[in-house]
């Protein structure tokens, strides 16, 4: 029997025309993504996102509108995740200061210009277009294959 999809929330944070990205896998910066993580039951999407951004980045945020729903999947490993992305702004914390994720998952927290992102492996593929508000940016990105 297939496992149900995992639900996660992510923050699209632009600051000084740079996008906040974190490593997607523990102790590896081979793949970068927007900060966020899995939703805990009986907690709102916003409450989960506030918690994840504090844990991963040491920042407090104001959460704006949803800007993307993205699905990752890996049928060979029975994995399917639905990420809900929100536009966010920083309301507290040091965006450039040192931070240690208490769970030890996020080890890279950096700000990137759009030009710098072109040379990186970032998921989802549409993240830059969504972050900078391109007119052709999707608001729904179905079943993107996961990188392993």
Q: What is the distance between the alpha carbons of residues 112 and 13, in angstroms, rounded to a whole number?
A: 11
Cβ burial of 86 (10 Å; 0-12, 13-18, 19+) is buried
- Please calculate the CA angle 22-27-28 and round it to the nearest 5 degrees: 65
Quote the pTM value.
0.95
The per-residue pLDDT for range 30-66, each reduced to its tens digit, is 899 999 999 999 999 999 999 999 999 999 999 999 9
Residue 15: CB atoms within 10 Å = 14
The per-residue pLDDT for range 87-145, each reduced to its tens digit, is 999 999 999 999 999 998 899 899 999 999 999 999 999 999 999 999 999 999 998 88
Q: What is the distance between the alpha carbons of residues 65 and 40, in angstroms, rounded to a whole number?
A: 20
């Amino acid at each position: 029997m297939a496992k149900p999809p995992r639900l996660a929330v992510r923050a699209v944070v632009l600051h000084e025309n740079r996008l906040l990205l974190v490593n997607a896998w523990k102790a590896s910066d081979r793949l970068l993504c927007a900060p966020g993580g899995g939703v805990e039951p009986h907690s709102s999407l916003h409450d989960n996102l506030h918690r994840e951004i504090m844990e991963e980045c040491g920042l407090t945020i104001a959460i704006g509108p949803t800007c993307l729903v993205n699905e990752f999947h890996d049928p060979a490993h029975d994995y399917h995740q639905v990420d809900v992305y929100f536009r966010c702004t920083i309301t507290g914390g040091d965006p450039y200061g040192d931070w240690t994720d208490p769970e030890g998952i996020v080890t890279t927290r950096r700000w990137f210009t759009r030009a710098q992102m072109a040379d990186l492996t970032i998921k989802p593929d549409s993240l830059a277009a969504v972050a900078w508000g391109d007119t052709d940016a999707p608001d729904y990105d179905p079943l993107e294959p996961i990188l392993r």
